[in-house]
Amino acid sequence: MDGKQQELARFPIGSTETEEWNWALRLEIGADMTQLCQRDCGETPPALAHLYDSHPLHAFYTDAAGKAIWRLYGVAVRDDGTPLGHTCRAMLLGNNKAVGGVPLGELVRCERWSAEQLAFLRSGMVPDAGIFLDPLGFALLAE
């Protein structure tokens, strides 16, 4: 079993045991998964491939104010050419899943959640918090 397989066996996707993860390895696995989605989930049109490159699925996204907690699980382009994200937003007692509902220009990529965002995610009030804590959590949103 290689290092990636060991990491996933020890901490399955959506795990909330963030202190013990190999963060860099989970990001590497996430990048691999994004590429697999592009390559193996049907033929990705060039316009969408570019959007996946600029908005990788394993990344974390917030808003301009740094308050929102979003995960991206796909991209689309509206008829008028506006690039959109299939997103899930962490909310109190429920999460808001939107298919093609958030313009990608509103998503601000962040390397890690702020202390305030982490406290909210770990409060026990966000269902399925592992979706947002784990760089691989986006995989739990795919249907």
pLDDT tens sequence across 4-51: 999 999 999 998 877 888 889 999 999 888 877 765 555 567 768 888
End-to-end alpha-carbon separation of the chain, Å? Answer: 28
Per-residue pLDDT at 48:
80
Q: Give the closest residue to 16 by CA, choosing from 137, 125, 138.
A: 137
Per-residue pLDDT at 16:
85
Work out the burial of residue 49: count CB atoms within 10 Å of its CB; fewer than 13 is exposed, 13-18 middle, 19 or more buried.
middle
For residue 96, the one-letter residue type is N
Contact 103, 84 (CB under 8 A): yes
pLDDT tens sequence across 70-121: 999 988 899 998 999 999 999 998 999 998 889 999 999 999 999 999 999 9
Flag whether pLDDT at 123 surpasses 90. Answer: yes
Flag whether pLDDT at 1 surpasses 90. Answer: no
The model's confidence at residue 52, banded by pLDDT at 50, 70 and 90, is confident
27 in helix, strand or coil?
Answer: helix
Each residue of 87-111: b (16+ CB within 10 Å) or e?
Answer: bbbbeeeebeeeebebebeebeeee
CB neighbours of 107 closer than 8 A, spacing ≥ 6? 55, 61, 62, 63, 70, 72, 85, 87
